[in-house]
Structure 1
């Protein structure tokens, strides 16, 4: 355990940031799973608004630095492709 005052503060800060990052990542994953369930159920009508929300969550996670930009863009692309195939 850290003995120096600044190191103790840094441990607290890191723990707080870690918890926030987990929350962003969890929200993002939940929305992705929601879209995938709707795609599996072939529910194009509800999948499109769910996709918009998932894209928002992914963009926010990218902005916060929780996931890498390429990773987030890949996830958005794959989900969008699946939803578009569903509508066609």
Structure 2
């Protein structure tokens, strides 16, 4: 258990930050899931729209420190490739 005032404060900050990060990760996953569903349904227009909405959310996850830059880059790249293949 935290003993010093600083470590108690850190524990409180970590709890708050954990909740914020959890909500942010959930939001990102929702956007990615919408792209996946649009791809699965075969609707190219919906997939493009969903991807356009998901990209800024994923990028925001990087700036907020929730996800690693390369992870997001890889996810966007793979989703974009699948959406492009759907349009052909």
TM-score under structure 1 length normalisation: 0.95
Q: CA deviation at 1:49?
A: 1.2
Structure 1 residue 12 corresponds to structure 2 residue 12 = yes
Task: Give 5+ residue unaligned stretches, structure 1.
Answer: none
Structure 1 residue 43 corresponds to structure 2 residue 43 = yes
- Alpha-carbon distance in 1 for matches of 2:65, 2:2: 26
- Alpha-carbon distance in 2 for matches of 1:81, 1:2: 48
Q: CA deviation at 1:18?
A: 1.1
RMSD of aligned C-alpha atoms?
0.8
Structure 1 residue 24 corresponds to structure 2 residue 24 = yes
Q: How many pairs does the alignment contain?
A: 88
- Alpha-carbon distance in 2 for matches of 1:5, 1:74: 41
Q: CA deviation at 1:3?
A: 2.2
Deviations 1:35-81 (A, max 9, x none): 00110000111111110111111000011111110000000000000
Structure 1 residue 74 corresponds to structure 2 residue 74 = yes
Moved over 2 A (4+): none
